[in-house]
Structure 1
């Protein structure tokens, strides 16, 4: 009885002090609103022991047992953390020890270690029930050395001459050379082109996936990607194409933007992110400069995939550990920036538990679900804010202050204003914002640590502890709402009258 009474009394106050989301109405979801979880199928979760073929969890170069059913079993885990899309490594039938999926032997079959296509279709349906989109990794550049085509004389023209890449600055070598000894497909051959385009369209119509992450984009001619983009987008509306162009030159990457690809994994930004957040007292200026550059170069800069690490890089946690820092603290700061700036955040599996790892294959360790939940809880919190505040995914971006790692920036969408403060320093920081940056006479309501910063004399004085961050929304001052309290007085009066009558009736029954 006491607990129920307390809850009834508490609810009006929670409603009254709840953070505002402005007058922005709920709009149709766009790709820039997504938050992507990137997982390696074999290393994520084993949900079906019947396909555990040649499993050796002690060998980092062998299959470990992850499969489609394992992903299905953890969909609620991903949804609860706020992820709205899953990017998966290639699922097509692979060569021996092709646990990673990039040694394809058959473009129309699922790998037997992962499960049947029927189970994959179930995975897509179950994900869609939870409003989670599925992005598949598609490889158009090469096949496995053991692919039947390689030894078929009739398909000799399907491949470029067996030569490695010597000059990585030569575009012709990049497009024709064999990477790591993998047979390089000749996309200029019309039969090859048709096969790849048909396969890409088939998976969309057959399984209802929502996007492709395109592997080794710079090793395939731009002309092919133009036709590929056209084919898949006529197959399904709003189909997302995320290109991997491993380069730190955004002008080089942008040439593929013109081919119809929607966004790219932002390698130039990734380098700055790791440098900035691996330890405190590092400037954040380069991060904001990167955004200004992206706005000028890319047609849809909000569709860029922003990330800290992936299956081809050393884990970000290793950078942190090598700098003798706390992984949880460093990850929280970095993810706060990732979730509150333009672009689509891509979080590599295991980041939520600060999984460590060096170079490939050490960066592909087995996922664990029996770990500390502190970082998971934090990701859940910022994930919820990203979903509920459209300014964080669609808003303008304006840097208000940055000095030696302390940054304050503003996102504005319609009448919603979010202010993000990131203290990437080893000391408490004080920042004063004036009416030039924010409208005076209001208050900043913190949504992470519940900080409240009122406007005084037209200024907002923000205080952030070392290695902490806060996400604020600009709102009207709370004040005293007389009509509200009159209404609540009536409600409580009727409530206590009801309690009194119930008590009186029960007393009569006892008598």
Structure 2
């Protein structure tokens, strides 16, 4: 109860701190979302009746997570400020397919995860909380021993069994068997019709809000063009987030011409995971990533930004390998993730600094009984992103960068947010001129409570080592009498509440 009270106070104080001219929220768009990414089997086990083949000591076995487990944690996810969840594939898999990518039946929920009704309940409960649901969808391949492989009527449903050797040869990339998995021939009209029909069926049946499209570059662009058109005909504003694993944003951006809305931003990941996992790294390369994104993408604000995922080494591991405090490093990385352009995607377990090396070690079982330091920090970031449209829709300008001390500005409809990140091992000062920020105002810190008043030369932002602050530019204030009065009233009421509760407790005992 105390925790709920102080959470309420924090939100109330934030409403006082944000200037009155702050832009109001318009109709919700996908660039306004923040995504919590869940590997279903490794998240939360709520239904022991579906715990077949579970062995939590084997990193390649099922660990018991299920759809009911996700539903049970929706409030937890919402409280951190996330507005959407992305689930690894929930379709029926071959034995050992805890991850969901060895599909054996595209029309069934894997019994390890629950039932179709469990999925419908999850979506319904998520929507009650204004949380959108994105399913991971695989059209490139099936499981290694799919029944179709032995069906003579479907012999032309697969490409000839060949590995990919030349990754610069697009035909080989699209027709080769990725990791030895049977490669579906989407140019076959029957295959194409089947995959599109099943994609539409899940939308109609469960009311999901989007697909994260797996292995996009291994499937012909002509297929994606028809696929996107048909699935979007089923539900308005249905979102397609493509995984095109490539270092060149021009290569990735080209798929946007074929109906895919946004993409998982691997060039961002490459820079962010290195920069924030170690102190004294310049943030210039990250800003360069944004400048390229602005040039190459039609909708750069729909790129999914991330620090790690189920296919990469955990960010915590990178920090530990660099002999850094992972909690400190995660806080800095998430500050940038939540305040820079793009849709932030956070992999489950980041909020507890979950460790992990290469697959499958990066898919450890979630632990909900751990220190809350990062969780509380994420709640602040989530609330700020919700309250400040400039952090979701604003332009993005680098005002200052020197060896890891960086200051960015975002503006949207009269609202100006300033993001300062000290990614160095020492206290740093950044001077911002009157040309960079409107003179005669103050920077009101909302993350850590800092206050920077301008002088005739501009603004001096001072941050301790390895810390960050998010400011709004506001009119200079004197003594805020209404705010102080409200603060006193809140704590008087809370004192009365504690006294009354204690008195009532004595009466009942």
* Preserved contact between residue 167 and residue 173 of structure 1 (Cα < 8 Å): yes
Shift of 1:481: 7.2
In the alignment, which residue of structure 2 is the partner of 1:475?
Answer: 474
Pair 1:62 & 2:61 matched: yes
In the alignment, which residue of structure 1 is the partner of 2:262?
Answer: 263
Separation in 1, partners of 2:59, 2:117: 28
Q: Deviations over 1:353-384 (max 9, x none)?
A: 01000000000000000100001100111011
Separation in 1, partners of 2:381, 2:15: 22
Pair 1:418 & 2:378 matched: no
Q: Deviations over 1:257-278 (max 9, x none)?
A: 1111111110011111011111
* Preserved contact between residue 304 and residue 344 of structure 1 (Cα < 8 Å): yes
Separation in 1, partners of 2:48, 2:158: 37
In the alignment, which residue of structure 2 is the partner of 1:337?
Answer: 336
Query: What does residue range 92-107 of structure 1 map to in structure 2 within 5 Å?
Result: 92-107=91-106
3-state SS of paired residue (1:345) = strand
Shift of 1:68: 0.5
RMSD: 2.2
Separation in 1, partners of 2:88, 2:240: 15
Pair 1:320 & 2:330 matched: no
In the alignment, which residue of structure 2 is the partner of 1:507?
Answer: none
Separation in 1, partners of 2:22, 2:315: 38
3-state SS of paired residue (2:398) = strand
3-state SS of paired residue (2:471) = strand
Separation in 2, partners of 1:172, 1:66: 38
Shift of 1:458: 4.3
In the alignment, which residue of structure 2 is the partner of 1:311?
Answer: 310
Aligned length: 482
Separation in 1, partners of 2:479, 2:464: 30
Separation in 2, partners of 1:237, 1:351: 32
Shift of 1:19: 2.6
In the alignment, which residue of structure 1 is the partner of 2:399?
Answer: 400
3-state SS of paired residue (2:310) = coil
In the alignment, which residue of structure 2 is the partner of 1:142?
Answer: 141
Q: Deviations over 1:71-121 (max 9, x none)?
A: 011111101111100000000000001000000011100000000000110
Q: Deviations over 1:203-226 (max 9, x none)?
A: 001100000000000000000000
Separation in 1, partners of 2:160, 2:36: 37
* Preserved contact between residue 21 and residue 388 of structure 1 (Cα < 8 Å): no
In the alignment, which residue of structure 2 is the partner of 1:229?
Answer: 228
- TM-score, normalising length from structure 2? 0.92
3-state SS of paired residue (2:168) = coil
In the alignment, which residue of structure 1 is the partner of 2:497?
Answer: none
Cα 1:15–1:428, aligned 2, differ >3 Å: closer, same or farther?
A: closer
Unaligned runs of 5+ in 1: 1-6, 493-511
Shift of 1:16: 9.3
In the alignment, which residue of structure 2 is the partner of 1:288?
Answer: 287
3-state SS of paired residue (1:396) = coil
In the alignment, which residue of structure 2 is the partner of 1:19?
Answer: 18
3-state SS of paired residue (1:474) = strand
* Preserved contact between residue 14 and residue 446 of structure 2 (Cα < 8 Å): no
* Preserved contact between residue 430 and residue 464 of structure 1 (Cα < 8 Å): yes
* Preserved contact between residue 21 and residue 416 of structure 1 (Cα < 8 Å): no
Q: Deviations over 1:394-414 (max 9, x none)?
A: 001010000100100100001
After TM superposition, the structure 1 stretch with the greater mean CA deviation from structure 2, 471-480 or 360-369, is 471-480
* Preserved contact between residue 17 and residue 446 of structure 2 (Cα < 8 Å): no
Cα 1:265–1:14, aligned 2, differ >3 Å: closer, same or farther?
A: closer
Q: Deviations over 1:168-227 (max 9, x none)?
A: 111111111111111100000000000000000000011000000000000000000001
Unaligned runs of 5+ in 2: 1-5, 490-509
Cα 1:226–1:21, aligned 2, differ >3 Å: closer, same or farther?
A: farther
Separation in 1, partners of 2:138, 2:201: 14
Query: What does residue range 339-378 of structure 1 map to in structure 2 within 5 Å?
Result: 339-378=338-377
Separation in 2, partners of 1:215, 1:286: 27
Query: What does residue range 206-285 of structure 1 map to in structure 2 within 5 Å?
Result: 206-285=205-284
Separation in 1, partners of 2:430, 2:267: 29
* Preserved contact between residue 279 and residue 423 of structure 2 (Cα < 8 Å): yes
* Preserved contact between residue 397 and residue 409 of structure 1 (Cα < 8 Å): yes
Shift of 1:26: 2.3
Pair 1:186 & 2:206 matched: no
* Preserved contact between residue 38 and residue 347 of structure 2 (Cα < 8 Å): yes
Shift of 1:350: 0.3
Separation in 2, partners of 1:438, 1:145: 58
Cα 1:361–1:15, aligned 2, differ >3 Å: closer, same or farther?
A: closer
Separation in 2, partners of 1:165, 1:481: 66
